[in-house]
Amino acid sequence: MAASSGESWQVFINFRGEELRGNFISHLEGALTLAEIKYYIDTKEVPSEDLTVLFTRIEQSEIALCIFSSKYAESKWCLDELVKITEQVEKGKLRIIPVFFNVTPEEVKEQKGEFGLKLYGEGKRKRPNISAWENALDSVPSKIGLNLKNFRNEREFVDKIVDSVKRVLEVIPLNGISKDLSSVSDSNGNISSSHIEQPKALPLDYGMEQRLKQLEEKLDFDSLETQIVGIVGMPGIGKTALAEMHFKKWNNRFVFKKIIRVIREEINDESDWLKDTLLNGKELNHKAQNFKRKIFVVLDDVSHKNQVKFLLKNLEWIKKGSKIVITTRDKSTIAELVHDIYIVPGLNDKDALELFKHHAFNDQDSSKTGNLLKLCKKYVDYAGGNPGALKELGKELCGEDEAHWEARLATLPHCCNPKIQSELRISYDKLSEQQKDAFLDIACFFRSEEEDYVKCLLDPYGPDSSEVVRDLAEKLLICISAGRIEMHNLLCTFGQELGSSDENKSGKRMWNHEKIKNTLRSEQIILSQRIKKETPWLKWVDLSYSNKLTDLSALSKAFHLRRLNLEGCTVLDKLPEEMKNMKSLVFLNLRGCTMLSSLPERLDLVSLKTLILSGCSKFINFELISENLEFLHLDGTAIQNLPWAIQNFQKLVLLNLKDCKMLKFLPECLDKLKALEELILSGCGKLTSFPDTKEKMENLQILLLDGTKIKELPNILLHSCNFKGQVVLHRSPGMNGLSMLRRLCLSRNEEICSLHSSISQLYHLNWIDLKYCKNLLSIPTLPPNLQCLDAHACNSLKEVASPLALLMPTQKIPCSFIFTNCEKLEQDAKKEIICYAHNKSRMISDALNRHNKGLAFEALVATCFPGSEVPAWFSHRASGAVLDPELPRHWSKSGFVGIALCAIVSFKDHTIQNNNLQVKCICEFNNVETSSSYFNCHVGGLSETVDEQRMIKSTHVFIGYTNWLNINKFQEKDGEKECVPTKASIKFEVIDGTGKASNCEVLKCGFSLVFESGSWEASSRREDLEQVENRWLGPLRRIRRFLPL
């Protein structure tokens, strides 16, 4: 039977059939089959004198299992096979595992005993090949064989043989087969797992080491599960190089391994191409199905997910533990197929500079300095960490003088390197026509613009714009960062160069002012009334700050217009009636059109989502123009009321009426706006009432009423009002309607005197602004998740509730309560504020581990109020800005969770500069060995987000609690785990937006260690703490029924 040239085997078994076939060999065959190892024995061939077929089988094998028994040397067949085996071993093409069955290695190697008698029994004259056989037997590596006498029974012996075969298969390298197994055997001649070849060490440079480490975190080569990982990145970023290096490092663990660099487009569902290709074109289908083995495959530059699906099929032919790496430029290609994705980052500045210099200077005199080094850095900045670009730009400049470098740098943003362009063109050509248009538009016009803005402009028909932007991001042609669409310099240059050419079906793009003027002149293009006929497919128009624009009739036929920006058109006094035909208009900006008084009657812009009339100071009448409005800006207009039809705005999310000085009334139907999240009434000085709201406004999150003259708060907060010179906030069934309220601003309202305690039920409320509420007398208990209360300059404020705010047992939210310039605050109120700060700091200790993981220090509780004394509960107090406390022994191991800090600051009518003031301190902790640890801690402060300056009078108390979870970690890092600091030095300072505040002085300061309530340090205060907890948690328990589940 002829041997197929495409066949291959893992193990060739060389043995004396007459002696072993019926028992030992049958057990060995079963064990090899069970282990999915493909083996060959001579029973599969037709017996003959011609050994050509058997020799071919040996050549096709990776391991020869030579089983020496007492009658082995009788067989000419066995001995001739052994000669062929030793020849293959010498060539480095085969590994041999000797097995000694009831004979010793010495008997075989030296041809002694019964084994020798069988070899020489007929005499050398009748066995002419005996010299070759002796040499073959002499070459048997006796030290690494497996000997039956070392095992308790044949079953154990068989298991060990199979295990040894498996281990040898695992360590066969890709580039050849070692003829010696001594590196994987122990002193007893057994194949040892502890000596299995480890992954090869590889030379790493230019940032590859870090990338490789990050990739290896996603592929566990010790896992028994099959893993598929994608490597994704823009062209030239180094996907293939990374995959190849990863493959070279780990492929020695696998028998079947392959890097497939050409994924053919014609692969189809019927193909077994991967199976057929995995072993250099040999037939793998039969092989894989007969003895499934683990594989390690790299599929490089996959462009379509169907290619992967067709290649891998259902993975049934792949054994568990296989590893598959796929590189692609398109993340969506593999998103549904892989277990994890590694997005290849750009090189850091240092590695990028070294790589660029390596190619630019041909690795000679690469330590350039002066102007040439500055030029290098500019090229590196442009390349944005892309290794491929750095390489090509370096090669392009290699050998050129400095003048050429300067000239090329000037053209770099406009003229792409040909090889870089070729790589980028591959990605571009695979885009759909719509994606190509979007890519070119972003490159030419919209780089760094807001995502929503770009989406609006890209798609003339609406629903597909988000998909187009997402698709480009998935293909790594753009990225979305902080809500803006960004593009790599290389891609932008490529896109602009392509977009400004005449080859595009979508037309030539122009964005440079001078080029546009020159083109208009050279082509003798003029603007005329014909533009009316050319506008039906116009998508967006920006005529902002056209201060002579009075007529928009040229846009009357722009039926598909999506975005119209007329901001700052100060002489525009009306819009054309034909605007009613703009059924696709989504965004209309009329900000600052100071002559505009109204919109056209019966204007129905069905697609309009955003309308901006901010600063239209003569705008008086607002009518319903679209029921799909989501954002309505009427701030700074002259409107006196809103129409009842506003109740039809069921999608309205934002209603901005800030500084509508003429607004006197709000419609009673305001509660019909079910989608409303933000209502801004700031500065509506004539607004004296809020409508009775009978329905829930459960999506309302922000309610700004600052600067109004509202005497009664919304009825949704007021079930009944006994108004006698006070505005009170009463508990009501409608309270759940504000369950999502997060921000409430009542500042500069001179009518409000107090708030009702039911405000504590607003569970999600995290910000209350009461600044300059001059007639506010008291503050009730506040809700548990409040992060900021600002009561600055509440000149009449005397009382705060007890407790000041509810505490949650799992509290972990930082908070700041500000009472600056509240000069009438009573002593009991100050004690309550101090009590709140002290006990909240203890309450959050259980959640600190989840809140702060680093060594940075963050003020979790901060408060300030007029005063001149450090609270008595601070264990260490001093005059001035410096404190040097002694620390108790073992303080860091006794339930320690943080530190409390206090500073008494004199301001002397200090005006806060640049809207920022902070009280900070520098902490130095020393141990007995005089080593020190330094930390900067935040005590408290003020920070304005609006353009107004505060003046602080008199002397104020600042208290801050700072967690300190990582002191032990810090000590371990410095080898000082057993050297707990025993002394501290703390220095306080006041800084503002200009630096150290020179006219502010720290008069006194305080410091205290804070411990868990169950620790020994806190046990002396346990009774006081339990009383406080009962007092503070009691109200919270009573309102649980109001909290959302």
What residues form DSSP beta bridges with 327? 231
Q: CB neighbours of 977 closer than 8 A, spacing ≥ 6?
A: 968, 971
Decide: helix, strand or coil at residue 277: helix
Question: 668 an active-site residue?
Answer: no
Q: Which tokens belong to 84?
A: 């062929």
Q: Using N-to-C axis directions, what is the helix angle for 418-429 and 489-499, rounded to 10°?
A: 80
Q: 12 near 64, Cβ under 8 Å? A: yes
Cα gap 824→234, rounded to integer Å: 64
Please name which of 542, 558, 587, 584 lies closest in space to residue 452, comparing C-alpha atoms.
587
Cα gap 1008→983, rounded to integer Å: 13
Cα gap 552→239, rounded to integer Å: 52
**C-alpha dist (Å) from residue 743 to 702, 704, 842:** 5, 8, 26
Please name which of 71, 82, 81 lies closest in space to residue 107, comparing C-alpha atoms.
71
One-letter amino acid at 692 equals D
CA 986 centroid distance within chain: 38
Count of C-beta atoms within a 10 Å radius of residue 84:
21
Q: Which residue among 74, 81, 392, 396 is the active-site one?
A: 81
Residue pointed to by tokens 């304005």 = 944
H or E stretch covering 157: helix 154-171
Decide: helix, strand or coil at residue 299: strand
Q: 788 near 828, Cβ under 8 Å? A: no
Cα gap 255→38, rounded to integer Å: 12
Cα gap 962→900, rounded to integer Å: 6
Decide: helix, strand or coil at residue 649: coil
E-strand ranges in 927-1014 read 932-943, 951-952, 955-963, 983-992, 995-996, 1001-1011
Q: Which tokens belong to 998?
A: 């020179």
Residue pointed to by tokens 């009748």 = 126
Count of C-beta atoms within a 10 Å radius of residue 513:
8
Q: Which tokens belong to 596?
A: 């505009």
Please name which of 919, 922, 948 lies closest in space to residue 935, comparing C-alpha atoms.
922
Buried b (16+ CB within 10 A) or exposed e, 8-27: bbbbbbbbbbebbeeebbeb
Q: Which tokens belong to 825?
A: 């605050």
Cα of first residue to Cα of last residue in the chain, in angstroms, is 78
The answer to whether the peptide bond before residue 803 is cis (omega within 30 degrees of 0) is yes
Buried b (16+ CB within 10 A) or exposed e, 710-722: bbbbbbbbbeebe
Cα gap 756→777, rounded to integer Å: 12
Q: 243 near 340, Cβ under 8 Å? A: no
Decide: helix, strand or coil at residue 941: strand
Burial tier of 528 (Cβ tally within 10 Å: 0-12, 13-18, 19+): exposed
Q: Which tokens belong to 108?
A: 């075989």
- Locate all alpha helices (DSSP H) within 526-604, ordered by sequence: 531-534
One-letter amino acid at 548 equals K
Query: What is the strand order of the sheet 9-14 is part of?
Result: 39-40, 9-14, 61-68, 95-100, 146-147
Where in the sequence numbering do the catalytic residues fall? Answer: 81
